[in-house]
Every structure is written in C-alpha cells, then in structure tokens.
A = this chain, B = another copy of it.
Amino acid sequence: MTKRLDTGKEWFNKVYGEGKADGLVEMQAGLAQDLARYGIEFNFGDIYSRPGLTLAQRELLSLASLVTIGGLEPQLQGHTRGAINAGCSPTEILETVIHTGFPQALNAIRVVTDALIAYGQEIPPALGPDED
C-alpha cells in the first residue's frame, strides 16, 4: 500500500468513521474500485491532509461546494456526518447551507437536516424575521 493511500484512509476515516475508506472501495465492482481509491488518495491523502485549514473548515467548504453543484445527495449526507465528526456544530452546518444560496439550498437543507436528525443531533430553532 502506498503512503498516500494510507494517509488518505486515515483522513477519510476521520471524516466518515472508522473503516469507511475500505468500505467505499469494496462498494465498487472491479475497475470502478480504482476511482474510489483515487478519491481517497487524492481528495483525502493529498488535499485533506494539507496544513493551513482545520478539518472543520474543510468540511464546511466541502458542504458549500456540494450545495452549489446541486444533486449529489450521498456526498451531502456523508459530509454532514463528516462535519459533525470534525467538531462543527449543527448551527455551523445549517448556516453553511443557508449561506450558499438558492435554489439548490432549499433542497439541500432538507437532506442535511434529515442527516443531522439521523445522527442524533438536535436541530437549532429558527431565528425568525427581525421586527422592522
């Protein structure tokens, strides 16, 4: 096993939970396992392991990028859990989705809220409108 794959699995598992990197590769059949491995080696072994941003910062950036692209619900659920594992609060996670904007955000926030509830998090109350 290469050092990058090793480092990548370590960071992937910090985000998704113990043993999940091996699970991602095994979920794919044959040649497609190479793509899963690249995701671990490059996105996690090369990028997530860099200094300069905390893991919590990286998880919020990944959520912002996923909301902007739209769709990609499995990744959105995974990184919601990853953000919790990295120490982000539910408020930070939901504010990240609100910050990133329409119209993708309204679909994304349902996925993220459901994922937070599934991970046993309490959903912070709405701020409601300012009186003006």
List A residues at the B interface (Cβ < 8 Å): 1-5, 28-39, 41-43, 46-47, 50-53, 57-58, 60-62, 64-72, 74-75, 90-92, 94-107, 109-110, 112-113, 117, 123-132
With known contacts A94-B31, A106-B39, A69–B72 Cβ distance under 8 A: no
With known contacts A47-B98, A61-B60, A98-B47, A41–B129 Cβ distance under 8 A: yes
Question: Do A70 and B71 have beta carbons less than 8 Å apart?
Answer: yes
Question: Do B29 and A113 have beta carbons less than 8 Å apart?
Answer: yes
Contacts of A42 in B (CB 8 A): 38, 42, 46, 102
Contacts of A30 in B (CB 8 A): 94, 113, 123-126
